[in-house]
Structure 1
Amino acid sequence: MFTPSSDDVRRFFCDAHRKHHAKEILSPIEAMAADWIVQHPEYDEALRDVEAALARDYSVEGGQANPFLHLAMHLSISEQLSIDQPRGIRAACQELARRLDSEHAAHHEVMECLGQMIWTSQRAGLPPDTESYVEAVRRRARG
């Protein structure tokens, strides 16, 4: 399993941003990332300079959202949906997107559920509870 460092993730998104703007050929995963980058123009400046991105601290204490974490979560959710893993996440997210009339807004709701699942798992020292994650998305879809 590939586990990229935070620097790897930052380089990846900065490179996808650069390639997209230079109209270079993107790999499928870079194209997916570029789609989310375009939907977040507020991150444009953070993605322009790789060295600045690597040096920047996005700690909780700093109070600023980490654009790389945010984009990585979008990408992770997109991959989950493409293979419906965990099982049921695709239908739950589609239902949520219909209710909100926005795939993007649905992703942001799913991010909260995903973050909660990861936090709970880490805190309890247990594997992620994917069933409760999918159920949390379903509950949001029901309103």
Structure 2
Amino acid sequence: MFNPSRDQVRQFFIDTWRKHRATELLTPLESMALDWILEHPEYHGDLEREDAMTVEYAVEGGRTNPFLHLSMHLAIAEQLSIDQPPGIRAAYQLMAPKLGAHEAAHQIMECLGQVVWESQRLGKPLDTEGYVELIRQRAGRF
């Protein structure tokens, strides 16, 4: 299983953005990441910062960590592409026509954040069935 460090994740997004701006060839994963970077112009400056590798995005600062946010987009895109956990794609497809692909992904991101937090707090494995159920519940609201 691929488990990159914080520095590796940051370097990946920084390099992807730099390569895009320099019109260099991107790998397939970088191309997928670039799609999400382009959807978030508010993060472009973060990716260009001299101190991008070390800047902290504390919750108390009221600012979303762009690297975490982009990483979650990539994780969700992968989950949707292979329908893992089972049912995530169908739940997404209920939301996407109503909200748009990007907002539907953000709704899933909220659910993912909740189940990861609960898993960490309780010291238990991620509840994938609960995760998909949360997404279904959100999809039913729209």
Q: TM range, normalised to the smaller chain? A: over 0.9
TM-superposed CA distance for 1:99, in Å, is 2.4
Q: Do the aligned residues in 2 keep the contact of 1:46 with 1:53 (CA within 8 Å)?
A: yes
Report what 1:22 is aligned to.
22
Gaps of 5+ in 1: none
Report what 1:46 is aligned to.
46
One-letter code aligned to 2:54: A
Report what 2:10 is aligned to.
10
Report what 2:113 is aligned to.
115
TM-score normalised by length of structure 2: 0.95
TM-superposed CA distance for 1:117, in Å, is 0.5
Aligned ranges 1:1-143 → 2 under 5 Å: 1-49=1-49, 51-100=50-99, 102-143=100-141
Q: CA RMSD in A?
A: 1.0
- Mapped partners of 2:53, 2:134: distance in 1: 34
- Mapped partners of 2:137, 2:95: distance in 1: 9
- Mapped partners of 1:137, 1:23: distance in 2: 37
TM-score normalised by length of structure 1: 0.95
Q: Which moved more, 1:52-61 or 1:37-46?
A: 52-61
Q: Do the aligned residues in 2 keep the contact of 1:99 with 1:141 (CA within 8 Å)?
A: no
- Percent identity over paired residues: 60
Q: Do the aligned residues in 2 keep the contact of 1:88 with 1:134 (CA within 8 Å)?
A: yes
Q: Residues 71-115 of structure 1, C-alpha deviation per residue, up to 9 Å, x if partnerless?
A: 000000001011111011111112111221x10000111000000
One-letter code aligned to 1:45: G
Q: Residues 24-70 of structure 1, C-alpha deviation per residue, up to 9 Å, x if partnerless?
A: 11111100000000000010100113x41112011112221100000
Q: Which moved more, 1:51-60 or 1:131-140?
A: 51-60
- Mapped partners of 1:57, 1:80: distance in 2: 28
- Mapped partners of 2:130, 2:101: distance in 1: 21
- Mapped partners of 1:121, 1:111: distance in 2: 15
- Mapped partners of 2:104, 2:122: distance in 1: 27
TM-superposed CA distance for 1:20, in Å, is 1.3
